[in-house]
Amino acid sequence: MQLSLPLTVAAAALTNTVLARDFIPRPNIQAGPIQPYKAFAEFSPRSKTCFVKPSCTEGRDDTPKILAAMHECNDGGTTVLDSEYNVCSPMDLRFLKHVDIALTGTLNFCDDGDHWLPLLFTYDYQFSAAQWVIGGEDVNIYGAGVGTLNGNGQNWYDRFNSNRTLIRPILLLTDGLHGGSITGLKMRNSAKWHSLIANSTSYEAKNLDGWDTYRSDNIVIQNSWVDDDDDCVSFKPNSTNIIVQGLTCFGSHGISVGSLGQYPLSYDIVENVYIYNNTLNGAADSARIKVWPGAETDFQPDLGGGGGAGYVRNITYDGFYGTNNDNAIKIDQCYGEKNATRCAEFPSKMFIGDIVFKNFAITTNTKNAPRAGDLICSGPGTCENIRAENITITVPGDEEQYWDCRNADESLLDLGGRGCVPA
The model's pLDDT over 138-151, given as tens digits with 9 standing for 90+, comes to: 999 999 999 999 99
Flag whether the pTM goes above 0.75.
Answer: yes
* Residues 280/285/290/295 CA torsion (nearest 10 deg): -160
pLDDT > 50? residue 415: yes
Q: Beta 8-10 vs 21-23: how paired, if at all? A: antiparallel
Nearest Cα residue to 271 out of 349, 202, 353: 353
In the predicted structure, residue 237 carries a pLDDT above the cut 70: yes
C-alpha distance from residue 193 to each of 197, 217, 230, 390, 400 (Å): 11, 20, 8, 33, 37
pLDDT single digits (tens) 58-96: 779 999 999 999 999 999 999 999 999 999 999 999 999
pLDDT digits (tens, 9 = 90+) for 258-313: 999 999 999 999 999 999 999 999 999 999 999 999 999 876 656 678 999 999 99
Residues 282, 247: contact at Cβ < 8 Å?
A: no
Q: Give yes or no for residue 136 having a pLDDT over 90.
A: yes
Nearest-angstrom CA–CA distance, 323 and 282: 6
Closest listed residue to residue 290, CA positions, set 365, 368, 375, 193? 375
CA nearest neighbour of 334 among 298, 386, 365, 294? 294
Instruction: Locate CATH 2.160.20.10 in the chain.
Output: 49-201, 209-422
Q: Which helix (H) or strand (E) holds 129?
A: strand 128-130
CA distance 307 to 297: 9
Given this model, what pLDDT does residue 5 score?
25
Whole-angstrom Cα distance, residue 294 to residue 280?
A: 31
Contact 393, 362 (CB under 8 A): yes
Average pLDDT over residues 363-384: 97
Percent residues over pLDDT 70 in the chain: 92
Q: How confident is the model at residue 53 (pLDDT cuts 50, 70, 90)?
A: very high
CB 96 within 8 A of CB 134: yes
**Amino acid, single-letter form, for residue 396:** P
Look at residue 3 and tell me whether its pLDDT is greater than 60: no
The DSSP call for residue 344 is H
Q: Answer for the pair 243, 219: CB distance below 8 angstroms, yes or no.
A: yes
Most confident of 33-42, 155-164, 228-237, 390-399: 390-399
Handedness of CA 295, 257, 414, 226 (dihedral sign): negative
Burial 223-257 (b: 16+ CB within 10 A, else e): bbebebebbbbbbbbbbbbbbbbbbbbbbbbbbbb
Q: How far apart are CA 417 and CA 415, in angstroms?
A: 7
Check whether 19 has a pLDDT greater than 60.
no
Query: Is 207 a residue whose pLDDT tops 50?
Result: no
Q: Which tops the pLDDT comparison, 25 or 99?
A: 99
Between CA 191 and CA 147 the distance in angstroms is 19
- Identify which of 330, 329, 338 has the alpha carbon closest to the alpha carbon of residue 293: 338
Give the active site residues: 253
As a whole number, the mean pLDDT across the chain is: 90
14 confidence band (pLDDT: 50, 70, 90): very low
Task: Supply the pLDDT for residue 300.
Answer: 62
pLDDT of residue 6: 26
- From CA 263, how far away is CA 295, in angstroms rounded? 10
CATH of domain 49-201: 2.160.20.10
Within 10 angstroms of residue 179's Cβ, the number of other Cβ atoms is 22
User: Which pLDDT score, from 0 to 100, does residue 210 have?
Assistant: 82
Please provide the distance, in angstroms rounded to a whole number, between the alpha carbons at the two ends of the chain: 43
pLDDT of residue 301: 57
Three-state secondary-structure class, residue 67: helix
Considering the domain 209-422, what is its CATH architecture?
3 Solenoid (2.160)
3-state class percentages of the chain: helix first, strand second, coil last, to nearest 5: 10, 50, 40
3-state secondary structure of 145: strand
Taking residue 2's Cβ as centre, other Cβ atoms within 10 Å add up to 8
**pLDDT tens-digit map of 302-350:** 667 899 999 999 999 999 999 999 999 999 999 988 888 988 999 999 9
User: Over 90: is that where the pLDDT of 57 sits?
Assistant: no
Rounded Cα distance, 283 and 394, in Å: 15
Position 11 scores a pLDDT of 29
pLDDT > 60? residue 38: yes
Angle CA(249)–CA(179)–CA(170) in degrees, nearest 5?
45
Among residues 166, 237, 255, 254, the alpha carbon closest in space to that of 198 is found at 237
The fraction of the chain above a pLDDT of 90, given in percent, is 75
pLDDT at 206: 53
